[in-house]
């Protein structure tokens, strides 16, 4: 029997809040973080809405409690703030250290900084301190240094499922006995690089994203970071701390269909969800709520919806995509949505799929459109699907001894 | 934890040396006087459908091709010598059944497709908008793993690690964990990176490389800061079962981030070996990551004159250059040394005559921040 992996802390920073309490307040008030781009310079800033973290880097430096942020990308600042919150939420600083790892995810690393200084990189020495920020590992190592994590560190990048795979790896390292604790999640800063790239694919919606709506027309890019503290059950019982959830299932599959599109039947999504259920023998009917990947693209929502219908049959759980709150945080989406899923377990609620007016006629189920409170939520499935068909599904369960 | 053997049953390596044909083991050494080492391109058309290949950037082609060579190499060959012609276009991979039964595809890449990223950054810096999405798609780090999955039609576990000089090691550790969990019996694991003129120019400013052309075979004679940059694509078909094509087994992999002053590397290594039931004197050959950077090469000297003074010392970065996943080249080298029981003269750092090669340790470090250990054992 593999060791049980539980969640003892969560941290999140996104367009809907600097921290956990602000995030909770935003979702309770159905307040979206999507709006006009203010801090990033992009030729597309008036063309599309974005879910930008509403602070410049100077304010993020203060939030990260850094005296000097020279050498830091926005990506690293966001990650450091959320990871620190998770650590404090789990009150790890009060406890003796155990074997701890940092598994962090990102899709373009410190591109936010590199794209700004690229011309300097090519022509002069004035920004040399930022050259290595290009590497995806840069933010991970800065976070590890600040949190004094040395036992195991690595960085994952599987496009929009990156942070979900970081959580999956953390769970596996704990189950195998290699680690007692893991800080797992992802960080992503909005970049012109991403905006241009997604625009070249013609999948950015000109209005705030509308997952599962018949008129959906693409994604809204967001940014931020979120981390979970995963521990063995035994380690979690030290120090009289609350256990917020058990990570009871995870599944990784590759759709192997197309580099950017999903197969219409959602094969990859189906396999990832099915594997997550199988891991600990969870029945589909036990899932109370699915926090869907639900990007708002024509393709994803159709494929994911089809996969959900095929896997869950007649008894489809409550479903919503929370991307209309946070935007699509790409590499950090998996951990941000894991945090929102865990908030649903803690606060006995199901979050609404904002911006949904007319449900897709192709699907039999209708996503939740109003916040549901005081509801039994024992098992939540959180889906993250990425380019290249890198699909991962996580299941969080209310913890019972 | 339960140790499950992980056998290396097939290898594909594209590097600055003539390594793409796995039936040959360093028959001759390529000498360069250059700013950075570039891989010798195999005939990609023999491995990738030319139509598809036209849109692919070089790194993607290097990845797919090395992966296919590894799979083909792991297939027992009834007729020796027909290896290359049978490898054809993408769609034929599935017809040949190359990906059938593959449980995981895991890639480590420190930088992903630099060429594609530069294309986008160059255009953005010129104030232009990106119209063609191909560079963006290919710049995404997981493209290599997922392209291989698409070609092989492999729907199983798929992941990508992007942590500097831990990238390939993390991929290997993930695979070892898969075997231990019983989640996988076969896995395709790769380490891949490229260098471009532009990226060299930029990262030279950060002090990582030698400032002018060097002769690769005389790399250690310069006694200057900086390494010689290189690149390569190495894929390994690993399995929990030994076969007729097995080179060696990979016993363990460890990464060490910023080792503490109070814990010298020889102690870390001794502990790692002891966890695997070995002592330093049982390491017959040690492959060291010497890269000609006088600021850090002393870290290898210490071990060579310390716990490994009785071991055959081997080096390799004069052949492939320094890059984030260079330990892919080292693993290829170690596996071949164990299989052939021969240490080519070109890679000998000292000259002891080990008559029987049973265990090989790879030790690499990157600017004294990312250190790693790979332990190999004879079949």
Residue B206 has pLDDT above 60, yes or no: yes
CATH of A251-397, one of 3.40.50.300, 1.20.120.140, 3.40.47.10, 3.50.50.60: 3.40.47.10
Residue A75 has pLDDT above 50, yes or no: yes
Q: Which residues are paired to A227 by β-bridges?
A: A11, A185
**3-state SS class at A80:** helix
| A178-195 mean pLDDT | 97
In this complex, the residue of A157, A256, A386 whose CB is nearest that of residue B154 is A256
In this complex, the residue of B121, B150, B159 whose CB is nearest that of residue A118 is B121
- Give the model's pLDDT for residue B79: 53
Query: CB A388 to CB B258 under 8 A?
Result: no
Start-end ranges of CATH 3.40.47.10 in chain B? Answer: 6-248, 252-378
Query: CB A253 to CB B157 under 8 A?
Result: yes
Query: CB B121 to CB A193 under 8 A?
Result: yes
Q: How many Å apart are CA B208 and CA A377, to the nearest integer?
A: 53
Closest-CA distance, B262 to chain A, in angstroms, reads: 14
Start-end ranges of CATH 3.40.47.10 in chain A? Answer: 5-236, 251-397
The backbone torsions φ and ψ at residue B146, rounded to the nearest 5 degrees and listed phi first, read: -80, -30
In this complex, the residue of B129, B157, B257 whose CB is nearest that of residue A144 is B257
The backbone torsions φ and ψ at residue B135, rounded to the nearest 5 degrees and listed phi first, read: -60, -35
DSSP state of B100: T
Q: How many Å apart are CA B152 and CA B92, to the nearest integer?
A: 9
pLDDT tens per residue, range A283-340: 999 999 999 999 999 999 999 999 999 999 999 999 999 999 999 999 999 999 999 9
Is it true that domain B252-378 has CATH number 3.40.47.10? yes
In words, the CATH class of domain A5-236 is: alpha beta
- Cβ-based neighbour number of residue B161 at 10 Å: 33
pLDDT tens per residue, range B289-339: 999 999 999 999 999 999 999 999 999 999 999 999 999 999 999 999 999
Two structure tokens written together for A1: 């029997």
Set of chain B residues whose Cβ sits within 8 Å of the Cβ of A331:
none
Query: CB B137 to CB A157 under 8 A?
Result: no
Angstrom CA distances, A179 to A98, A103, A235, B302, B360, stand at 8, 12, 11, 30, 26
Residue with tokens 């693209």: A297
ipTM here: 0.98
Residue with tokens 């083909």: B72
Superfamily classification of domain B6-248: Thiolase/Chalcone synthase (3.40.47.10)
Set of chain A residues whose Cβ sits within 8 Å of the Cβ of B153:
256
DSSP state of A227: E
- Cβ-based neighbour number of residue B281 at 10 Å: 11
Phi-psi region of A392 (alpha: psi -120 to 50; beta: other; left: phi over 0): beta
Q: How many Å apart are CA A254 and CA A237, to the nearest integer?
A: 36
- Cβ-based neighbour number of residue B109 at 10 Å: 32
Q: Where are the alpha helices (H) located in A176-318, listed in sequence order? A: 192-200, 233-236, 267-279, 298-312
Strand A152-156 relative to strand A100-105, pairing: parallel
Residue B261 banded pLDDT, cuts 50, 70, 90: confident
What is the pTM for the complete model shown?
0.97
In this complex, the residue of A254, A260, A268 whose CB is nearest that of residue B137 is A260
Q: How many Å apart are CA B203 and CA B188, to the nearest integer?
A: 31
pLDDT > 70 in chain A, percent: 100
Residue A4 has pLDDT above 80, yes or no: yes
* Catalytic residue set of A: 160, 293, 328
pLDDT tens per residue, range B38-87: 999 999 999 999 998 999 999 999 999 999 999 999 998 765 444 443 44
Q: How many Å apart are CA B12 and CA B247, to the nearest integer?
A: 12
Q: How many Å apart are CA A333 and CA A344, to the nearest integer?
A: 16
pLDDT > 90 in chain B, percent: 87
Residue B1 banded pLDDT, cuts 50, 70, 90: low
pLDDT tens per residue, range A226-283: 999 999 999 999 999 999 999 999 999 999 999 888 999 999 999 999 999 999 999 9
Closest-CA distance, A397 to chain B, in angstroms, reads: 22
Set of chain B residues whose Cβ sits within 8 Å of the Cβ of A199:
129-130
Set of chain A residues whose Cβ sits within 8 Å of the Cβ of B174:
169
Query: CB B155 to CB A253 under 8 A?
Result: yes
Residue B20 has pLDDT above 50, yes or no: yes
DSSP state of A261: P
| B196-219 mean pLDDT | 98
- Give the model's pLDDT for residue B148: 97
The backbone torsions φ and ψ at residue B228, rounded to the nearest 5 degrees and listed phi first, read: -95, 120
The chain-wide mean pLDDT, for chain B, equals 93
Strands (E), A16-156: 100-105, 152-156
Set of chain B residues whose Cβ sits within 8 Å of the Cβ of A106:
162
pLDDT tens per residue, range B132-150: 999 999 999 999 999 999 9
Q: How many Å apart are CA A186 and CA A253, to the nearest integer?
A: 19
The chain-wide mean pLDDT, for chain A, equals 97
Q: How many Å apart are CA B175 and CA B156, to the nearest integer?
A: 13
Query: CB B139 to CB A197 under 8 A?
Result: yes
Residue A8: burial class (beta carbons within 10 Å; 0-12, 13-18, 19+): buried
pLDDT > 90 in chain A, percent: 96
Answer yes or no: are the C-beta atoms of B227 and B344 closer than 8 Å.
no
As a whole number of angstroms, the longest Cα–Cα distance in chain B is 63
- Give the model's pLDDT for residue B354: 74
Residue A78: burial class (beta carbons within 10 Å; 0-12, 13-18, 19+): buried
**Cα A242 off chain centre by:** 22
| A142-158 mean pLDDT | 97
Q: What is the CA radius of gyration of chain B?
A: 20
Query: CB A388 to CB B112 under 8 A?
Result: no
Q: Which of A245, A369, A383, A376 is closest to A311 using CA atoms?
A: A383
Q: Which of A392, A310, A294, A312 is closest to A351 using CA atoms?
A: A294
């Amino acid at each position: 029997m593999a060791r049980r992996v539980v969640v003892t802390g969560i941290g999140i920073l996104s367009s809907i809040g600097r921290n956990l309490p602000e995030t909770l307040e935003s979702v309770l008030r159905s307040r979206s973080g999507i709006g006009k781009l203010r801090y990033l310079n992009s030729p597309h800033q008036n063309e599309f809405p974005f879910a930008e973290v509403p602070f410049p880097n100077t304010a993020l430096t203060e939030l990260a409690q850094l005296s000097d942020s020279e050498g830091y990308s926005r990506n690293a600042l966001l990650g450091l703030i959320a990871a620190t919150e998770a650590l404090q939420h789990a009150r790890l600083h009060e406890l003796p250290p155990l074997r701890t790892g940092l598994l962090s995810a990102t899709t373009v690393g410190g591109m936010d900084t590199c794209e700004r200084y690229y011309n300097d990189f090519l022509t002069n020495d004035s920004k040399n301190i930022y050259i290595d920020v290009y590497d995806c590992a840069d933010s991970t190592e800065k976070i590890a240094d600040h949190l004094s994590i040395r036992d195991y560190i690595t960085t994952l990048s599987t496009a929009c499922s990156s942070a979900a795979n970081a959580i999956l790896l953390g769970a596996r390292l704990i189950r195998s006995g290699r680690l007692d604790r893991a800080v797992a999640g992802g960080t992503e800063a909005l970049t012109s690089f991403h905006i241009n790239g997604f625009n070249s694919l013609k999948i950015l919606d000109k209005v705030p994203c509308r997952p599962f709506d018949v008129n959906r027309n693409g994604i809204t890019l967001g940014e931020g970071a979120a981390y979970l503290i995963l521990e063995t059950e035994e380690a979690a019982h030290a120090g009289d701390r609350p256990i917020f959830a058990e990570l009871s299932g995870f599944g990784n599959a590759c759709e192997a269909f197309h580099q950017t599109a999903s197969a219409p039947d959602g094969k990859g999504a189906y396999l990832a969800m099915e594997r997550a259920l199988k891991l600990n023998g969870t029945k589909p009917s036990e899932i109370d709520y699915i926090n869907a990947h639900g990007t708002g693209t024509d393709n994803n929502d159709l494929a994911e919806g089809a996969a959900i219908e095929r896997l869950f049959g007649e008894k489809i759980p409550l479903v919503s995509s929370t991307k209309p709150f946070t935007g699509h945080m790409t590499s950090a989406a998996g951990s941000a949505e894991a945090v929102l899923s865990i908030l649903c377990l803690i606060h006995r609620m199901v979050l609404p799929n904002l911006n949904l007016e007319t449900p897709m006629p192709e699907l039999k189920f209708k996503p939740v459109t109003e916040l549901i409170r005081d509801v039994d939520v024992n098992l939540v499935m959180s889906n993250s699907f990425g380019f290249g068909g890198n699909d991962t599904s996580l299941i969080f369960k209310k913890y019972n001894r | 934890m339960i140790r499950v053997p992980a056998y290396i049953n097939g290898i594909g390596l594209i590097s600055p040396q003539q390594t793409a044909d796995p039936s040959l083991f360093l028959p001759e050494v390529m000498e360069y006087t250059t700013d950075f080492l570039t891989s010798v391109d195999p005939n990609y058309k023999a491995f990738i459908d030319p139509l598809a290949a036209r849109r692919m950037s070089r790194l993607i082609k290097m990845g797919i091709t090395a992966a296919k060579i590894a799979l083909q190499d792991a297939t027992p060959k009834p007729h020796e010598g027909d290896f290359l012609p049978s490898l054809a276009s993408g769609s034929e991979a599935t017809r040949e059944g190359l990906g059938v039964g593959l449980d995981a595809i895991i890639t480590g890449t420190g930088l992903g497709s630099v060429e594609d990223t530069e294309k986008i950054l160059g255009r953005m810096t010129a104030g232009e908008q990106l119209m063609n999405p191909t560079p963006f798609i290919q710049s995404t780090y997981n493209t290599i793993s997922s392209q291989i999955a698409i070609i092989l039609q492999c729907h199983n576990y798929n992941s990508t690690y992007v942590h500097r000089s831990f990238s390939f090691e993390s991929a290997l550790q993930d695979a070892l964990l898969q075997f231990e969990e019983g989640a996988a019996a076969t896995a395709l694991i790769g380490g891949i990176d490229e260098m471009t003129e532009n990226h060299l120019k930029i990262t030279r400013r950060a002090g990582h490389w030698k400032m002018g052309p060097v002769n690769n075979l005389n790399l250690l004679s310069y006694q200057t800061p900086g390494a010689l940059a290189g690149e390569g694509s190495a894929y390994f078909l690993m399995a929990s079962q030994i076969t007729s094509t097995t080179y060696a087994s990979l016993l363990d992999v460890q990464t060490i981030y910023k080792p503490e002053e109070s814990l010298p590397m020889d102690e870390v290594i001794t502990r790692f070996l002891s966890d695997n039931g070995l002592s330093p004197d049982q390491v017959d050959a040690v492959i060291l990551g010497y890269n000609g950077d006088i600021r850090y090469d002393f870290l290898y000297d210490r071990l060579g004159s310390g716990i490994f003074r009785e071991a055959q010392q081997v080096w390799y970065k004069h052949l492939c250059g320094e890059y984030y996943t260079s330990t892919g080249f080292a693993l290829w080298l170690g596996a071949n040394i164990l299989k052939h029981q021969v240490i080519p003269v070109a890679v000998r750092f000292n000259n002891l005559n080990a008559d029987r090669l049973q265990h090989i340790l790879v030790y690499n470090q990157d600017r004294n921040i990312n250190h790693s250990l790979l332990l190999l054992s004879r079949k």
